[in-house]
Amino acid sequence: MNRIHRKLIFICLLLTATTALKAQQAQQVQNAFDAYYQNTFQEKIFVHTDKEQYITGELMWFKIYNVDAFTNLTSDLSKVAYIEVLDRTNQPIVQAKIAIKDGIGSGSVYIPLTAVNGNFKLRAYTNWMQNFGPNHFFEKQITIINPLSDPEKPATTAANNDLQFFAEGGDLIEGVANNMGFKAVNAGGLGIAIKGVVINQKNDTVARFQTLKYGIGQFRFTPVANHTYKAIASTDQKEIIIKDLPTAKKQGYALLLEEKENESLTLTVNSNFSAQNVSLFIHQGNKTALAETALLNNGTTVFKVDKTKLAEGLSHLTLFNEDGQAVAERLYFKRPGKALKIAAYSDYLAYKPREKVSVTISANDEKNQPIKADVSITVRRIDSLQGMDQSDIVSYFWLSSELKGDIEAPNYYFKNPNKETDRALDNLLLTQGWRRMVWDDVLNKKPMLKFLPEFNGHLVTGNIRKNNFNEVYLTISNTHQQFYNTLSDSTGHFIFNTKDFYGPNEIIVQSNPNIDTTSVITVQSPFTEKYSDFAYPILNLHPSLLNELQKHSFGMQVQNIYVGDQLKKFRPINTDTIKFYGKPYKSYKLDDYTRFTLMEDVLREYVRETFITRSQKRFVINVLGKLALLEGEPLVLVDGAPYFNTDRVMEIDPRKIKNLDIVRDYYYYGAGMFNGILNFTSYKPNVAALEISPNAVVLDYEGMQLQREFYSPTYETAEKKSSRLPDFRNLLFWSPTNLIKEKGIAKLDFYTADQTGTYIGVINGLSNTGVPGNGVFRFEVK
C-alpha cells in the first residue's frame, strides 16, 4: 500500500513539474517579447500621392501620415520625414525633407526632365525608422514617362515566368502532411493563372494545384523520404512552367492553420519529433494574444485559439521548440470591425468645361455615427494612361505595411470582402513574409538604437576627425541667421538639433581655430543609403498609349508656359524669429548713432556694455555685467557666424552693420557657456565675406521643404470663363488637409478644366481614433 502511495505521489510531482516547465517555457518567450516592446516604439508612414503615373516636368503632390506602427494613432515623435524617388539602381532622382506636425505633413516634388522611362520606387521614412531597417519604410511604385526617351522592353516569353513554393510554417518536412502555398508570376512580377501537378522522380502525380487570384494558391501533400518532386504547370496561354519543389527536411515542424465556423482557429503541428514540448506564441503588433505550451503526441499536437481574443488585423503565430528557438511561423488576418466610412459625392454627375464642382464628404464609424477625421483628396482625369490607384491607406495600414515585398492590388482584399477574398487573403499570407519583427532581435534584446528621433526639428549631423570632445558650431545663413553649438562625442560624431530650418540655405560648420586648426569636418547626408531588396518590374509601355501620352505631355507643357509662375508660389512659413538668446539686454541700431569708420570707435564711444583693451598686441573685448566685467571674452557673432579672433572683429567696416545685440550676462547654450554675447547683423549678409575657421565646411544645404501652393483657377465670372488662356489640367484638385469635424461633414469646391472625359476623386484619411478609411467618387466633363 505504501509503495502504491509513493508512486501516486511521484506521478503527481512529475505532472506538476511538467506543467510548471510548460508554463515556464511559454512565459520566457512572453517576457522577452514584452521587454523588447517596452523600450521599442515604432512608426510607420503612408503617403497619399495625387496620382501614380507622371510625365517628366510634372509636379508630384503628396501627403504623409506618420503613425504609431501598432495603433495607427498619429505619432508626435518625429517632426521630419524623408521622401525619395529612386531609380532601378537605387539612385535618387528626387529627395526632400518634409515637416511633420502631429503626425501629418505634405509637400510636392518636381519630376526632373532628365528622368528616364520606368517604374520608380517612392519611399518615405523618419530618422527614427532607420533603427529598424529599410524594410520598415513606406514604399510604392510610381511610373515616370519621358516623352523624349525610349522605354525598356522586357521579354515576355514563357522562360520569364516563375513559380515559387512556400511551405506553411516555413519548411517542407519529410513524412508529415504539409500545406504548400505557391505563387506564379510573369516577367513583370504580376500574378498569372496556372493549373498544374506535382510529380515524383517516377513521374507519379502526387498532388494537383490551381491558382485562385493573382497567381497564388495552395495545396497539400506528404513528401516521402529520399523522393524528389517537381511541379509542371500550364498558363492560360498554354505556356509550360517546370519547377523543382524545395528539398524536404528530414526533421522539423509543419503547420496547418484552419478556421472553424464556431469563432475558433486550430493550428495543427505535425512533426517527426515525438514527445517534445512545443510552445505557441501569438501576438498582434506589440500585444500578446496567447502563450501556450503543449506536448507532441506521436509527432502531433493541436492548439485551439479563440478568435474573439485576437485583435483585428494581422496576427503572428510562432512555434518554439524546447530550446526556445522559433522553428515555424504563420500569419492570420482577422477582418477589422472598426471602420472609417468615407462617402463623397459631387452636386452633379456631369459638368461642362470651366464649371464649378461642389463636393460633400462625410465620415462615419462602423455604427454609422459621425466621426472626426483628417483626409486628403485628389481629383484627376482617368484614361488609358492614368487609371485607378492599386493601393490605399486602408490596405496599407492593415496589410501591406506588415508584409514583405510588393502586394499586387492590395485593395482587392478589402473592397468587397467575401469567402473568395478570404481564401485569397489566406493564400497571400502563406506566400508573403512578415516585416515588423525578427525573433532573433527580440530574444537577444535587440535592436541597437543608433538613430535619434527628430522630435524638435531636423538634425544636422557629421564627424570631426578628432576624438577629444571638440566643440562644434553651426551657422545657417538664412533670414533668421540661426546659430547652434554642440560637443562631438568620443568618436568625433556631432549632432545639431535645429528648429524652423526651412528651404535652401548655406550652412557653415566649424570648430574654434584658437583651439583646433587641423581637424577635418564632414557633414553627413540625412538620407540613408540602405535599401530594401525589392525591385519593381521594368516598364512595358504599350504603343497604343503613345497618343494619350502626347496629349498629357502637350497639356503639361501648356500649363507650365501659361501658369508657370502660379506653380512657383510657396506658403509663408510661420517661424519663431526670436534669436536663441531671447531678448537682448540692449539692441543698438547703428544708424541712430554717429557713424564711425572703425569698429573700435563704435565699441568704445557708445556701446557702454563693452570694455576694449589690448594684450600682447591684440584686441581683447570684455562685457560689462551688472556689477563687474565678465571673465573671458564673449561670443561674437557676425550674421550668425562666430568670430574667434577679436582683431578680425575690429577689421569689420561698421558702416555695413545694421544692428548690434548685447547680452551682458553669462549665457548657457547647447554645449557651451558664454561670457556674454555680441551679435552683429549686417545689411546684406554674405557668407563669402565672413571670417571663418580654416577647417570650416561651407555648403548648400536644403532644410525642410517650403510648401508650394496648389494652383486651381476659378471661373466665377463670364469674363474668366471666356478667357482664351488654355486650361489643360488633368489634375483638377489636390487638398492634403481637410478636417472633418464633429458633425462628420466637410465641403469643398473647384472648377473643371477644358479637357472632357471621366474624372475621379480619391480620398484617403485617418480618424482621430486611428482608423484608416478611403472613398471614391466620379463625374463626367462633357
- The mean pLDDT of 261-289, rounded to a whole number, is 89
Whether the predicted pLDDT of 14 surpasses 60: no
Kindly state the cell numbers that stand for 439.
525573433
Q: Is residue 694 part of a domain?
A: yes
Query: Is pLDDT at 21 greater than 60 in this prediction?
Result: no
pLDDT tens, residue by residue, 245-259: 999 999 999 999 998
What is the rounded CA–CA span in Å between residue 312 and residue 668? 51
Per-residue pLDDT, 689: 76
As a whole number, mean pLDDT of residues 569-595 equals 89
> Is 104 among the domain residues?
no
Average pLDDT over residues 680-707: 88
CA distances from 322 to 26, 279, 411 (A): 10, 8, 40
pLDDT digits (tens, 9 = 90+) for 111-168: 999 999 999 999 999 999 999 999 999 999 999 999 887 766 655 555 689 999 999 9
The per-residue pLDDT for 617 is 87
Mean pLDDT of 302-328: 92
The answer to whether 361 and 341 have CB atoms below 8 angstroms apart is: no
pLDDT of 560 higher than 70: yes
As a whole number, mean pLDDT of residues 644-665 equals: 94
The confidence band for 329, taking pLDDT boundaries of 50, 70 and 90, is very high
24: pLDDT strictly greater than 80: no
**Residue 512 or residue 48, greater confidence:** 48
What percent of the chain stands above pLDDT 90?
73
pLDDT at 573: 80
Residue 444 covered by a domain = no
Residue 499 placed within a domain? yes
pLDDT at 349: 97
What's the whole-number mean pLDDT along residues 349-355?
97
Identity of residue 449: L
The predicted pLDDT at position 159 comes to 64
Asked whether residue 556 carries a pLDDT value surpassing 70, the answer given is yes
Instruction: Read off the pLDDT of each residue in 193-207 and give the average, rounded to a whole number.
Output: 96
Residue 471, H or E segment: strand 471-477
More confident residue, 95 or 437: 95
- Dihedrals φ, ψ of 128, to 5°? -65, -35
Chain-wide mean pLDDT for the chain?
90
Question: Among 274-278, 394-398, 554-558, whose mean pLDDT is lowest?
Answer: 554-558
Q: Determine the Cα–Cα distance for residues 436 and 400; give it in Å rounded to an integer.
A: 11
| CB neighbours of residue 673 within 10 Å | 11
Give φ, ψ of 21 to 5 degrees.
Answer: -65, -45
Render pLDDT for 762-778 as a digit per residue (tens, 0 to 9). Answer: 999 999 999 999 999 99
712-738: pLDDT as tens digits: 999 999 999 999 999 999 999 999 999
Is residue 670 a part of any domain in this protein?
yes
pLDDT on residue 9: 46
The residue type found at 51 is K
DSSP state of 608: T
pLDDT of residue 12: 45
Mean pLDDT of 307-325: 92
Q: Does residue 54 carry a pLDDT above 90?
A: yes
pLDDT at 42 over 80: yes
Q: What is the pLDDT of residue 16?
A: 44
**Does the residue 567 lie in any domain?**
no
Which grid coordinates are listed for 730?
Answer: 488633368
- Give rounded-to-5 percent helix, strand, coil for the chain: 15, 40, 40
* HEC letters along 609-639: CEEEEEECCEEEEEEECCCCECCCCCEEEEC
**Sign of the alpha-carbon dihedral angle for 488, 489, 494, 500:** negative
Give CA torsion, residues 254, 259, 262, 267, to 10 deg.
20
> Does residue 466 register a pLDDT over 90?
no
Output the CA torsion 90→92→93→94 (10° steps). Answer: 140
635-638 and 672-682 as β-strands: parallel, antiparallel, unpaired?
parallel
Q: Which domain holds residue 677?
A: 459-525+574-705
- Whether residue 2 is predicted with pLDDT greater than 70 in this model: the reply is no
- Give the C-alpha distances (Å, rounded to integers) separating 489 from 473, 492, 671: 14, 5, 11
The grid coordinates listed for 442 are 527580440
- Count of structural domains within the chain: 1
The answer to whether residue 609 is domain-embedded is yes
pLDDT at 17: 44
> Do the beta carbons of residue 669 and residue 695 sit within 8 Å?
no
Greater confidence (551 vs 773) lies with 773
Rounded Cα distance between 406 and 292, Å, is 33
Counting every residue, how long is the chain?
Answer: 782
* pLDDT tops 60 at residue 13: no
- Contact assessment for residue 138 and residue 45, using Cβ atoms and an 8 Å cutoff: yes
